[in-house]
Structure 1
Amino acid sequence: MHKRIYPLLLTACLGIVSLPTVAYSQALLPYAPNQDSKSLEDTSKVLLRQAAGLVQFQQYEQAIPRVALATQLVPKNHEAWLFLGTLLVQTQKYQKGIDALQQARAIKPQDPDVLFMLGSAYFQKGELPKAIDTIQAGLKIKPDNNSALFDLGNAYYKSNKYPDAIAQYQKAVKKDPKFWPAINNIGLVSYESGDLNSAMQNWQRAISIDPKAAEPMLAMAVALFAQGKQAEAYTAAEKAIVLDSRYANIQYLKDNLWGEKLLNDTRKLIQTPRVRDFITKAPSRG
């Protein structure tokens, strides 16, 4: 499942400021270095409100310079640095995002949201030991964060520490039995470990929670195909592709943590004439 279900804290960042009262299409306010501290703080708040409005419409690139300027105006505002780091990570500027998040951490070291976001940034940059350590530090402060537990499970999974990964996913599911992404990922780990029955049971459980979830549906199709149940596999694969055609793309699956064993078996399924023809004709969705 998604290399991270964790929502990049953008929702939390919107809570930093109220919804925009200034049109977010207006130009950046000029930075006047001689302004007093109260004026700088007020200007910073305006910029953050504008950025929050832009984020609501997923206009992250336009929001970044506003938040960056807000951090210059009030450099001790750790929430602004968190907001900036989150936006930079969202737009795949991982090192810049890490740098901004480190600024937030320096100001408020025990903020779990900063630690979780920093851990996510490390994960996406491929620095798995740092990701694990940082997310663990956040969980010591806020142990009931399901998204962070999921992230930690993903970091362990990518580090080939399968029992540790499953343990974190199970913690997340224990806190929220309907948290199907973690259930799905237990299936991913089980498949790579050679436990086909456990993988299929978890994917079926995920599907029962969300029948419109394309990922466990396609994974189940691959498992059925591996068992020689072609008719069932074709039906499930076609349903998954209709739900979200991105899952017919091997690179997309790899980006979403599918392991080599599952990817190899997926290639066999989607390269069959029936599925290949279906993919060609299927409408693009997702």
Structure 2
Amino acid sequence: MSFLLVFGLWGAASPALGQALVPYTPQLDATQLEQQGLSLAQEAAQLAQFQQFEMALPRARLATQLAPKSYQSWFLLGGLYLQTNKLNESIAALQKARALEPKNASILFALGSAHFQQEKYDAAAQNIQAGLQLKPNDPEGLFDLGNAYYKLGRLPDAIAQYNKAVAGEKKFWPAINNIGLIKYEQGDIAAAMKQWQAALAIEKQAAEPQLAMAVALYTRGERERGLKMGEAALRIDSRYGDLEFLEQNLWGNRLLADTKKFLETPRIQATLQERQNQPTPMQVVPQ
């Protein structure tokens, strides 16, 4: 098709001999581009809901180019980078989002999460604290701050934040579970088990407190009961049979040492072997 016809110039007078033909450049509307960018960001967010992160990322990157003044686009991009473990890129995008929208607590919580994954726990705590100044009773923010304090060795402060999270959301079992992790490291196994029982009363299919309870029971001499509970926990989610995964989930040295012995028992090894070639279920998350 003719270049002239494409751009609506068909029938225009031919240029005089020697006259330069100036190429036609369509004028693009900035508002329209921004709307296209936000539309792409929405597509990326929908893909992210189905964990299609690699498909979502190019759309999110283009969205920030088309709508560079939209904090939502940068926030989404930072979140996608965080999900795909591109932590430096995540922090850079989230900082741009924060510059555009400095009073958004969710951006600060996301920055805290990125720094936490980098094992920069002081920076994580600072960002989460800043977010909590804007949104003081956010259970997930309080939980994340508790985790940062836990990694910094500030155990009483960690427990205080976990308790605040539960006060705001009674069914927030991960916070209850993590209090149990701390109690176990402090040598108070009975108190730890009480916390894990409370977590399981809220979410019976939560593999983490169920396995922790199993290890505690086995270590205390209730071996049959512990093995049975451990088998059930690993059938829910076999990832908890991996010590490295447990360490990432804040299991401390004392509990890890006892869990190592527990996982080496023939019955638990058989359960892990049984689950090895089966798909891993979705992790249970608090609602």
TM range (shorter): 0.7 to 0.9
Query: 2:220: which partner in 1?
Result: 227
Give yes or no for contact 2:181–2:192 (8 Å, CA) kept in 1.
yes
1:254 paired with 2:247, answer yes
In structure 2, what residue type is equivalent to 1:65? P
Aligned 8 A contact 2:180 2:191 in 1? yes
* Partner deviation per Cα, 1:76-134 (whole Å, 9 max, x = no partner): 11111111101100110011000000001111211111111111111111110000001
What's the C-alpha RMSD, in Å, of the aligned pairs? 1.5
Gaps of 5+ in 2: 1-24, 282-287
CA 1:34–1:69 in structure 2 vs 1: closer, same or farther (change >3 Å)?
farther
The letter for the 1-side match of 2:210 is M
CA–CA separation in structure 2 for the residues paired with 1:212 and 1:101: 34
* Match for residue 281 of structure 1 among 268, 274, 283: 274
TM-score, length of structure 1 as denominator length: 0.86
2:89 corresponds in structure 1 to 96
Residue 9 of structure 2 is matched in structure 1 by: none
Percent identical residues: 49
1:108 maps onto 2:101 in alignment:
yes
Contact 2:35-2:67 at 8 Å conserved across structures: no
Match of 1:62 among 55, 76, 93: 55
Tell me which structure has the larger Cα radius of gyration. 2
Q: Name the TM-score, length of structure 2 as normaliser.
A: 0.85
Q: Which structure is higher in RCO with an 8 Å CA cutoff and minimum separation 6?
A: 1
Q: Which residue matches 1:118?
A: 111
| Count, aligned residues | 255
Q: C-alpha deviations, 1:223-248, integer Å up to 9, x for none?
A: 11111111111111011011111111
Do 2:38 and 2:73's aligned partners in 1 also have CA atoms closer than 8 Å? no
Give CA-to-partner distance per residue, 1:23-68, whole Å, 9 cap, x none: xxxxxxxxx9962211211221221132123123211111111111
What does residue 168 of structure 1 align with? 161
Q: Unaligned 5+ residue runs, structure 1?
A: 1-31
Give the secondary structure class of the aligned counterpart of 1:76. Answer: coil
1:51 counterpart residue number: 44
In structure 2, relative to structure 1, the CA distance for the partners of 1:33 and 1:71 (3 Å cut) is farther
Structure 2 matches for 1:1-286, cutoff 5 A? 35-282=28-275, 284=278, 285-286=280-281
**Distance in 1, Cα, partners of 2:92 & 2:114:** 10
Amino acid at match of 2:94: L
